Chain A
Amino acid sequence: MAKFNRIAILFIVILQVSFFSMMTTTSSLFLINSYVYKTLTIFLITCLLLFNLIFNFNKANQIRKYHFLIMIFGWIVIYIITMWGSVLYYDQSILTTIKNSYIYIMIVLYFLLVLFFDSNKDFKFILSSFSFIGAIYSVILIIQAILEKRNIIFLDFGIYGLNPIFDSFGPMLHLIRIAGPADFISFALLLTVIKQIYFKNKHQLINFLCIIIDFLYIVFVSGTRMYMILDFVIIVFFFLTLLKKRFPALMYGILSVSLVLSTIVVPVIINLFTSGERKLSFDIRLNEIKYYFGKIFYNNWFGIGFPDAKKYDQLLHGPNNSYVYMSNGKYFVEDVGAMGIVVVFGILGIIGLLWFAYKVITALIISKNRDIMLVIILYLLMTIATLSLVDPQRIFYLFVLIYIMEFIVKKIPYKNLEESQ
């Protein structure tokens, strides 16, 4: 059963990268499984969970301490109440409401992972599968980006596939820009770092190699600045944790120097985002925030909720008056980060977020694996502004992160089994 589960979860993770974009995505396939549609993923996870609950109950029925369980139930309550509100306020059918909010059913992933993947072996398997798939995908994408210069295209470059931007960019190499997989690869990089911190000396070289390959993709092919900064910070943090063990004094030295340096670097980074060619997108972002901020109490006790996307296009994507700047100036809830959650769920969203923050902080306090908790918090904090973790593209990763926290919060730091026996 354990083997079957692993194959199934591996398949689900590979689904997140659309089988390495090797096959062409048609428009119907796009609706089933793609960057933005996760119907198949949710369906498979639900089936796998039910299957396991029926045939593998003993594995689930082990003694555990659940750190996030009640919060997860709280989130379900928030989701259901908002759904009810949406049905009433928008006078739409229950089915339409579910169609427009199905992505939150991804919460079943938490139950699947926590109940059936809770041994050290399973934990390692999950981390490794993300790590390796991320590295393999990075290699494929880098090779494709280089070969594209010679007009050799073997990946799915269609509008439903990777949909790259044929525009050279970057300080060097000037490769084609393939931004879509950045979410996955950045997440894979994070999990590789977590794997290395938790399992220490095991496969150190392979992990380092994976981190480097992932980072190369992020810098030279994805062209997503936010991820470049995020991954850079994570890698710096990782090296600091390595230094802390061997040369604590050096670590504190570097930390204080970098703190001083950051006073110089941070304004430069902010400038990078707010001026020049990026000014336009920054301005749109500001308008976006202004627009969505006004919608937090749109339906009194909840925000926008889950209106029919077709009927309420203008409500969801702004008043369409940004066409002056560019040809397609729609606003997207996904672009405003954690505020997007508040916009959709209103006051309930704020409660949900604060609850999550409280749980993460208490997890940090009681956990013995502080370094891992810190790197996760770093990731969460840096994605909070623009890369909301409840978007269709990233909600899968949110529950994997909660699973990781749930796993390590009660565990004492990992010891090799052979050593401890």
Chain B
Amino acid sequence: MNLSIHSHTIKSLFKGLSKAWWVFVTTFVALVFILGGLTYLHNQKKVGMSTFDVTSKVIIMPDSNGDSVDGPALQVYVNTEKEILGSEKFNKYISKNMKQDIHINSDQFLNYSINNPNGTAVIEITATSTTEKNASKISKYIAELVANDSLDVLQGGEAKIIDYGSKVVENTVQSNKMLYVFAIFIAFILSIISAFIKAYYDPRIYDHKLIVNTFSDSNVYLVRDKNQLKNSFMKILRSSIVMENIENLDVAISYFEKEPDYIPEVLEVINKMNISVDVNKFSDAETSLDEEKIKNYSLDELYTFGKDKISGISFVDNSIEINIKNGIIHVLNVHEGQTTKKQIAEIYDEIKQIKNANLFVVYFK
């Protein structure tokens, strides 16, 4: 499987998420201010009062002679009534008359809704207003209108009031405190998501599974400290010597960080194993390492004709761009949280082109 920026494991995403804590914090602070500010502005504008729902119920009968109508016909009748009472025209009619009849201005009158409990001939009229008194007045007024003016409103049927505004529900407005808590909660979730998106596009590698999967044919050594590192290099060198004899030994160690701090350990391993080979370093960076045993070359010399015979153990700098040394034994030093997927994908493509390449990967956790 080719590695790309979109390759993830859940673990790598969560590790990336923990590294993106600063995105979380900055977004959270910013969003708390923005959302909190908007909530504050909203609260200032808000009328800030509770409303009351008062419900009256009317039972309607399609036929004034008392003949029973049932089934779909009744349902059609009830539905039609419901629609008539809910219509804009009826609404306008009430708004106009209410002023004279019960002295309520249309601006005090917020809303009313018509409901029909399933399967019944009952019509519920729920009025909503800022005071219980007004809501009750409106609800009763409409119920009376339906019951009394049945000729106009009821297509010839009859209506009886069965509940005269007894059900009162107070709708308390959301408390301001609650709105702020909610704004903070939303800010929290949105900042986690933004940190997650940052983690998704984080190019660095956080899970060795990505490496193990990409280089499924190679040995991957997981290394947590310098001792494990030495052990791994010892194993790598031992198998390299088995593959190529000591005179021809040519091992290219590719690294991606600016300055590898494990060169002394590798030299120690060479000493311990008692093998005499050249140790070379191909890099354009100014080296701070002052080791006599290391021969320094520029990266160009990797490609200079005639110099490609430089053998032994070579450290190759891949921090800026990918460079591959000739030879069939390659060691990749991957650092969790530093090496990027792009670097791995590029070097994977290069190494794939070398025939019989033997690859070892040292993964620093």
Chain A residues packing against B (C-beta within 8 Å) = 27, 57, 60-67, 69-70, 73, 76-77, 80-81, 83-84, 87-88, 91-94, 115, 159, 310-311, 313-314, 319-323, 327-329
Contact = CB atoms under 8 A, between A and B. Distances in A.
Contacts of B38: 88
Contacts of B76: 327
B35 A320 contact: no
Given A311-B128, A328-B79, A328-B83, A63 B209 contact: yes
A322 B80 CA distance: 10
Interface string B194-212: 0011001000000001100
Contact of B197 (A70, A87, A91, A313): A70
B193 interface: yes
Contacts of B248: none
Nearest to B39: A88
Contacts of A314: 86, 113
Interface in B61-82: 76, 79-80
A366 to B, nearest CB: 11
Interface string B22-48: 000000000000010011001000100
B179 interface: yes
B80 to A, nearest CB: 5
A65 B7 contact: yes
A83 B183 CA distance: 11
B1 interface: yes
20 contacts: A61-B11, A62-B209, A63-B209, A64-B8, A65-B8, A66-B200, A70-B197, A70-B200, A73-B193, A84-B183, A88-B39, A88-B179, A91-B173, A115-B10, A313-B86, A320-B86, A321-B88, A323-B83, A327-B83, A328-B83
Contacts of B10: 57, 60-61, 115
B197 A63 contact: no
B186 interface: yes
Contacts of A70: 197, 200
Categorize the interface residue count of chain B: 35 or more
B83 A84 contact: no
A70 B84 CA distance: 48
Contact of A61 (B6, B9, B35): B9
Given A87-B182, A92-B174, A311-B128, A65 B113 contact: no
Given A61-B10, A323-B87, A69 B200 contact: yes
Contacts, number: 93
Nearest to A83: B186
Given A61-B209, A77-B193, A94-B182, A87 B174 contact: yes
Contacts of A159: 118-119
Nearest to A88: B42
B351 interface: no
A321 B89 contact: yes
B113 A313 contact: yes
Highest count of chain B CB atoms <10 Å: which of A57, A69, A88, A314: A88
A329 B87 CA distance: 11
B80 A66 contact: no
- Tell me if B's interface is mostly helix, strand, loop or mixed: helix
B339 to A, nearest CB: 16
B193 A76 contact: yes
Interface in B140-196: 173-174, 178-179, 182-183, 186, 189-190, 193, 196
Contacts of A323: 80, 83-84, 87
A326 to B, nearest CB: 9
A146 B148 CA distance: 50
A64 to B, nearest CB: 6
A112 B50 CA distance: 42
A293 to B, nearest CB: 18
Contacts of A115: 10
B83 A63 contact: no
Contacts of A27: 118
B311 to A, nearest CB: 36
Given A320-B88, A329-B83, A66 B182 contact: no
B198 to A, nearest CB: 11
Highest count of chain B CB atoms <10 Å: which of A65, A66, A311, A320: A320
B79 A327 contact: yes
B338 interface: no
Nearest to A328: B79
Interface string B314-353: 0000000000000000000000000000000000000000
For the complex of A and B, 8 pairs with smallest distance between CB atoms: A323-B83, A320-B86, A65-B6, A327-B79, A61-B10, A327-B76, A61-B9, A84-B186
B213 interface: yes
Contacts of B9: 61-64
A296 B1 CA distance: 45
Contacts of B240: none
A291 to B, nearest CB: 12
Given A73-B197, A87-B174, A319 B6 contact: no
A256 B9 CA distance: 46
A301 B190 CA distance: 18
Contact of B190 (A65, A80, A311): A80
A320 B11 contact: no
B174 A93 contact: yes
B348 to A, nearest CB: 14
B94 to A, nearest CB: 14
B296 interface: no
B122 to A, nearest CB: 16
Nearest to A330: B83
Given A310-B113, A328-B79, 13 more contacts: A27-B118, A57-B10, A61-B9, A61-B11, A63-B209, A65-B7, A80-B190, A87-B179, A88-B179, A91-B173, A311-B128, A313-B113, A321-B88
Contacts of A321: 87-89
Nearest to B183: A84
Nearest to A92: B174
B11 A80 contact: no
Nearest to B193: A73
Given A70-B197, A310-B113, A64 B87 contact: no
Nearest to B113: A313
A92 B200 CA distance: 35
Nearest to B47: A91
Contacts of B119: 159
A23 B7 CA distance: 46
Contact of A80 (B42, B89, B186): B186
A333 B355 CA distance: 63
Contact of A84 (B35, B115, B209): B35
Contacts of B118: 27, 159
A80 B83 contact: no
B83 A320 contact: yes
Highest count of chain B CB atoms <10 Å: which of A70, A84, A311: A84
